[in-house]
């Protein structure tokens, strides 16, 4: 049932912060927390709401991870920025995780009562809810409190460095102490739960009977994930410079597209799709590595008109490499888009109609609806292909931004086509889901 994911996830939450730097990334812990309740949430309304909270926490923690990455690569953030990010993120964490964890323990209590008719762990699980609240609040305060020294400072980066380090150490020690106590208490409770084979079997049997055997529910769930992962994949195709550096890893498009196809693998040509995704991933990683190297070494955003790029031959060699890698990546992205369209066509066929009794009028109505959805999918494919081509053109325009604003605004052109592709893909996926959700 995934319950053991909880303990592993907690380990990623008990380590202290240094600014926005998190040695054990929160997003890994948040994903494991989400996985610990994913199946159980189908059996309890309280955890179903908590699962949504944990999912939001996953995205917040991913955003914080990229903020950390950009802060490190760009040479550091000022204190006010760190204070703002830490305060906002940990406030959201408390709002999302405190009720989520309380509902988690309450759901386990309910299962124990249903199984045995009594509950010896009730008081302990109530205490766990309180301890979790205390730890998350303390963790949040310790993350942003040392940076309150930024308030009123003129020189935010260099003032009171000694005091700053001292406060960070104190906050880190407090986070570890509260975190270890929190973890040990939850570990003690979860150990007894995970050893209770009868309880786990009770949850497992309910899940198999009430969820897994519900084919319509599983199909609709697959459609939801297919849509979500597809949109997330395109988020990583943004690829715009931040202070002249390219941090957004475009190759993750392949990873999330793989997850999207995996959720509906029954309706997709998985072998062909894997080849295209691997091809795109390999060439995209190569391009990403060259662009990062070029950005850091030669300030790619302004080359070759920057004095640091004094060797035009070297520039054109690197420019040619990036261009070739971009074109090859574009070909693979177009092939992936075509497979995405083919998969959508199959999903349309599976979602529309299927009446229990023959009806000529209903057959005509269903065929009309299928045609409408196929046309929407075709439009989405055109926009996906258009974005793939524009992504190559705009990448090749980047170095010439100082010649004219027409080149300098390349990221705007890319964003416009990306937004069009994302909205179109989401619209057709949502339309397919709406058809699947109709009463057959």
Q: Which two tokens stand for residue 115?
A: 């199984």
Two tokens, residue 137:
């609040």
Rounded distance between C-alpha atoms, residue 342 and residue 348, angstroms: 10
DSSP 16: P
**Whole-angstrom distance, CA of residue 254 vs CA of residue 282:** 9
Binning the chain into helix, strand and coil, the percentages to the nearest 5 are 80, 0, 20
pLDDT at 376: 92
The rounded distance, in Å, linking the Cα atoms of 248 and 173 is: 33
**Torsion, Cα of 143, 146, 150, 152 (10° steps):** 120
> Are residues 407 and 397 in contact, defined by beta-carbon separation less than 8 angstroms?
yes
**Residue 98: CB partners within 8 Å, gap ≥ 6?**
132, 133, 136
- Cα distance between residue 399 and residue 314, in whole Å: 13
pLDDT along the chain (440 residues), means of 10: 81 76 80 83 77 86 77 66 79 87 80 61 68 88 78 52 78 86 87 80 77 74 85 80 62 89 85 91 87 67 52 76 90 93 90 65 77 92 94 82 73 87 90 74
The pTM of the full predicted model, rounded to 2 decimals, is 0.64
Q: How far apart are CA 149 and CA 56, in angstroms?
A: 30
Helix (H, G, I), strand (E, B) or coil at 238: coil
> What per-residue string of b and e applies to 180-195 under the rule 16 or more CB within 10 Å gives b?
eebbebbeebbeebee
Kind and range of the H or E element at 22? strand 21-22
What is the spatial distance between Cα 247 and Cα 240, in angstroms, rounded to a whole number? 8
Q: In this predicted structure, what is the pLDDT of residue 387?
A: 93
The continuous run of DSSP H or E covering 36 comes out as helix 26-38
Distances (CA, A) of 42 to 209, 218, 274: 11, 11, 31
Q: How many CB atoms lie within 10 A of CB 249?
A: 16
């Amino acid at each position: 049932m995934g319950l053991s994911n909880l303990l592993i996830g907690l380990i990623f939450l008990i380590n202290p912060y240094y600014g926005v730097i998190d040695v054990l990334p929160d997003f890994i812990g948040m994903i494991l927390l989400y996985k610990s309740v994913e199946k159980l949430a189908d059996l309890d309304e309280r955890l179903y709401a908590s699962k949504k909270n944990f999912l939001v926490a996953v995205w917040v923690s991913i955003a914080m991870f990229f903020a950390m990455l950009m802060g490190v690569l760009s040479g550091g953030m000022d204190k006010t920025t760190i204070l703002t990010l830490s305060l906002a993120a940990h406030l959201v964490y408390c709002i999302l995780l405190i009720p989520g964890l309380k509902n988690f323990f309450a759901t386990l209590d309910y299962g124990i009562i249903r199984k045995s008719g009594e509950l010896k762990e009730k008081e302990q699980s109530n205490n766990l809810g309180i301890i979790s609240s205390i730890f998350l609040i303390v963790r949040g305060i310790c993350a942003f409190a040392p940076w309150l020294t930024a308030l009123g400072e003129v020189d935010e980066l260099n003032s009171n460095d000694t005091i700053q380090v001292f406060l960070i150490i104190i906050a880190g020690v407090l986070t570890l102490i509260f975190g270890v106590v929190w973890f040990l208490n939850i570990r003690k409770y979860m150990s007894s739960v995970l050893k209770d084979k009868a309880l786990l079997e009770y949850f497992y049997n309910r899940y198999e009977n009430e969820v897994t055997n519900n084919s319509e529910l599983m199909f609709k769930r697959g459609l939801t994930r297919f849509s979500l992962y597809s949109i997330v994949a395109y988020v990583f195709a943004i690829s715009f410079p931040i202070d002249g550096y390219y941090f957004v890893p475009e190759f993750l498009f392949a990873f999330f597209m793989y997850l999207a196809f995996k959720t509906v693998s029954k309706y997709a040509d998985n072998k062909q799709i894997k080849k295209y995704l691997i091809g795109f991933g390999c060439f995209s990683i190569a391009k990403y590595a060259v662009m990062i190297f070029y950005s850091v070494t030669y300030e790619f955003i302004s080359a070759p008109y920057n004095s640091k790029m004094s060797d035009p031959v070297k520039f054109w060699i690197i420019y040619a490499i990036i261009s070739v890698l971009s074109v090859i990546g574009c070909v693979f992205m177009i092939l992936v888009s075509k497979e995405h369209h083919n998969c959508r066509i199959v999903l349309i066929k599976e979602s529309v109609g299927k009446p229990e009794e023959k009806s000529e009028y209903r057959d005509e109505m269903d065929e009309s609806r299928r045609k409408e959805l196929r046309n929407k999918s075709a439009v989405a494919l055109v926009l996906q292909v258009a974005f793939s081509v524009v992504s190559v053109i705009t990448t090749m325009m980047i170095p010439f931004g100082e010649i004219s604003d027409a080149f300098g605004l390349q990221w705007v052109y890319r964003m416009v086509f990306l937004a069009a592709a994302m909205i179109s893909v989401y619209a057709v996926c949502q339309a397919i889901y709406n058809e699947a959700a109709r009463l057959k």
